[in-house]
Amino acid sequence: MENLKKTFEDCLRLETEKLDVLVQLGRDLNEDVLGQMLTLHFETTSQIIQELQSSFLKKDFPQLARLAHKFKSNSGQVGLQRLHKMSDVLENLCQQQNQNWIRIENIIQEIIQESNATNKLLNQYAKVG
């Protein structure tokens, strides 16, 4: 698992430039665009994580790959580069014919931990932004 963590350390956890654009868009429109995006992100992330865990227990590779792709898109929209990369690795691994369940399980656990950490950062950013 430690080796897996090193794979993702080079990726930025949070790309604040994307969040800054959402803040500015909100100011221009006089709406809380960032708040709306983050609310959607938190709801979607929570749902996908539950489905990832369920699909893993069922050993449903095609569904895991679809969920990883969805998580990758969701993470990219709000500038979560590390989660985006983790999701990409999970998606590719699930699409291979020779699946490694231990590695898939480890990546899912890393995604959950990283998601919890980034959600805290996003909440802090939203309060400042």
Q: What domain count does the chain have?
A: 1
Kindly state whether residue 121 falls inside one of the protein's structural domains.
yes
- Residues 21 and 90: their CA atoms lie apart, in Å, by 28
Domain-embedded: residue 6? no
Residue 44's closest CA among 95, 121, 124, 115? Answer: 115
Could you tell me if residue 73 is inside a domain? yes
CB 110 within 8 A of CB 2: no
Q: Please check whether residue 5 lies inside any domain of the structure.
A: no
Give the relative orientation of helices 16-29 and 101-128 as an angle to the nearest 10 degrees: 40
Would you mind telling me the total number of residues written for the chain in this entry?
A: 129
- Whether residue 23 is contained in a domain is answered as yes
In a domain, 90, yes or no: yes
Assess if residue 1 is contained within a domain: no
- Find the CATH number of the domain harbouring 113: 1.20.120.160
Range of the domain at 29: 13-128
Domain membership flag for residue 18? yes
Please give the DSSP secondary-structure letter assigned to residue 13. Answer: S
**Tens place of pLDDT per residue across the chain (129 aa):** 545 555 556 566 778 888 888 889 899 999 988 889 899 999 999 999 999 999 999 999 999 999 999 999 999 988 899 999 999 999 999 998 667 889 999 999 999 999 999 999 888 877 765
